[in-house]
């Protein structure tokens, strides 16, 4: 059987600086406008409370973001599917854990302190947590709580994006600067194949649709097309950017588990976009400062949505309403939001990982 050739796209020198280790000084010195404590785009007036559509609990939108004891750059946040109640933070100094909803954090032993964790993703059956770092290593957290490297590594260099299917065995997609890799387990080892190339631009985000190992989307920073789609388990990819501009400084994708699935795509200043039935993208940036957002997260049913920004704070979107600023704080060049996590419960919590640590916001009274 002839071997499939990997897909190659137009070369570009652009790399998503927002996803690189040591990014803070680079971003602030870049061509993007440096945010100040008073953004030059007017923010919507803060409403005292809204009602969380999933829990029915009033959401105070004018509260204060609270710092935690985790004060290092945090690029990824997740819940541990094998240890309910445990929250995991991927930082430039390895992994940290919280057992009280993100209030207090302790270093998670067993994960190398020298590894900068860039992405976390849950998947497989049983469902486990996977981590990817700046050294190109992917590890899985076993049901016993140990971190085990899955080898060999896909490729040298940083892994910026990670997606794991909810199948047994799982199929892993790993995005790097220049290539997207597909991994499957063969006995005790993993077999990796580059399924798409970009000649330098990074795969900023990747996600499986509906959790299976059939359809997936990948977002690329700064080249055409900005989004690719696969319908054969990630083996081949084609243009999936209908309705989008030719190129985008993509940052993150959020899979909203609706029927059919909805995908939200964020960019650094070129809008936030929604892909619904039919695969056509439409912009949903109203209310965001300078059409800008970085990490995305939703509640269990995808509503409300939350978006972190580069120095403008965190924004929330309820249904068809415009984005609205959530809480006081996290503004200015020190507060580049790199990760978000919505913690479910009677009184849900929102966590924001920034360049100077993790912050916490109570979404219920």
| Residue 335: burial class (beta carbons within 10 Å; 0-12, 13-18, 19+) | buried
Given a cut of 70, is residue 241 above it in pLDDT?
Answer: yes
Torsions phi, psi for 297 (to 5 deg): -155, 155
- The pLDDT tens digits of the residues spanning 252-269 come to 999 987 777 789 999 999
- pLDDT on residue 57: 62
- How many folded domains does the chain comprise? 1
Residue 65 reports pLDDT greater than 60:
yes
* Residue 161 pLDDT exceeds 90: yes
Q: Is the pLDDT of residue 355 over 80?
A: yes
The model's pLDDT over 102-126, given as tens digits with 9 standing for 90+, comes to 999 999 988 999 899 999 999 999 9
Residue 37 has pLDDT above 60, yes or no: no
Distance of alpha carbon 111 from alpha carbon 167, whole angstroms: 25
Share of the chain above pLDDT 70, in %: 83
Q: Can you give the pLDDT at residue 18?
A: 38
Report whether 220 contacts 176 (CB < 8 A): no
Q: Identify the three-state secondary structure at position 146.
A: coil
Confidence of residue 48 (pLDDT cuts 50, 70, 90): very low
Q: Which two tokens stand for residue 166?
A: 């909810």
Quote the pLDDT of residue 261. 78
Contacts by 272-275 with C-beta closer than 8 Å and gap 24+? 272/296, 272/307, 272/323, 273/243, 273/244, 275/217
Whether residue 2 lies inside any domain: the answer is no
pLDDT tens string 87-101? 999 999 999 999 999
pLDDT at 258: 74
* Interval 338-365 mean pLDDT: 92
The pLDDT, as a whole number, for residue 109 is 86
Query: Can you tell me whether residue 23 is helix, strand or coil?
Result: helix
Q: Which residues contact 62 (CB under 8 A, 6 or more apart)?
A: 46, 47, 48, 327, 328
Task: Give residue 199's domain range.
Answer: 7-362
351 vs 38: which has the higher pLDDT: 351
Q: Is residue 191 part of a domain?
A: yes
Residue 1 placed within a domain: no
Q: Which is it for the CA torsion 288, 77, 19, 220, positive or negative?
A: negative
Q: What is the CATH number of the domain that holds 98?
A: 2.130.10.10
Residue 157, classed as helix, strand or coil, is: coil
If you average pLDDT over residues 294-319, what whole number do you get? 91
Q: Distance between CA 179 and CA 198 in Å, rounded?
A: 6
Query: Distance between CA 8 and CA 68 in Å, rounded?
Result: 44
The predicted model gives 138-150 an average pLDDT of 91
pLDDT at 156 over 50: yes
What per-residue confidence (pLDDT) applies to 213? 87
Residue 2 has pLDDT above 70, yes or no: no
Q: How confident is the model at residue 178 (pLDDT cuts 50, 70, 90)?
A: very high
Give pTM, 2 decimals. Answer: 0.87
Examine the pLDDT at 31 and tell me if it is beyond 90.
no
Q: Per residue in 283-297, pLDDT tens?
A: 999 999 999 999 999
């Amino acid at each position: 059987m002839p071997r499939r050739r990997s897909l190659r796209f137009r070369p570009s020198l652009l790399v998503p600086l927002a996803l690189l280790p040591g990014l803070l000084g680079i971003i602030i010195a870049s061509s993007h406008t440096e945010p100040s404590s008073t953004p030059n785009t007017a923010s919507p007036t803060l409403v005292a409370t809204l009602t969380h559509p999933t829990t029915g609990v009033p959401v105070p939108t004018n509260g204060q973001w609270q710092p935690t004891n985790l004060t290092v750059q945090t690029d990824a946040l997740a819940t541990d599917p094998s240890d309910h109640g445990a929250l995991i933070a991927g930082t430039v100094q390895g992994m940290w854990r919280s057992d009280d909803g993100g209030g207090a954090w302790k270093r998670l032993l067993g994960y190398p302190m020298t590894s900068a964790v860039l992405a976390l993703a849950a998947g497989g059956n049983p469902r486990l947590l996977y981590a990817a770092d700046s050294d190109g290593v992917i590890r899985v957290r076993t049901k016993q709580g140990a971190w085990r490297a899955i080898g060999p590594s896909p490729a040298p260099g940083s892994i910026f994006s990670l997606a794991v299917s909810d199948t047994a065995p799982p199929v892993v997609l790993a995005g790097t600067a220049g290539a997207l890799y597909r991994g499957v387990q063969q006995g005790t080892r993993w077999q990796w194949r580059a399924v798409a190339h970009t000649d330098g631009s990074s795969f900023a985000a990747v996600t499986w649709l509906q959790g299976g190992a059939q359809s997936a989307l990948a977002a690329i920073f700064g080249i055409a097309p900005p989004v690719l789609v696969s319908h054969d388990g990630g083996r081949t990819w084609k243009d999936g950017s209908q309705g989008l501009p030719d190129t985008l400084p993509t940052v993150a994708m959020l899979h909203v588990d609706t029927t059919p699935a909805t995908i939200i795509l964020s960019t650094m200043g070129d809008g936030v976009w929604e892909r619904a039935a039919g695969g056509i993208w439409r912009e949903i940036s109203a209310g965001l400062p300078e059409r800008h957002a970085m990490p995305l997260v939703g509640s269990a049913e995808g509503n409300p949505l939350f978006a972190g920004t580069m120095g403008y704070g965190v924004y929330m979107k309820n249904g068809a309403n415009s984005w609205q600023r959530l809480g006081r704080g996290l503004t200015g060049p020190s507060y580049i939001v790199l990760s978000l996590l919505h913690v479910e419960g009677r009184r849900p919590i929102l966590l924001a990982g920034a360049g100077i640590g993790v912050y916490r916001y109570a979404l219920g009274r």
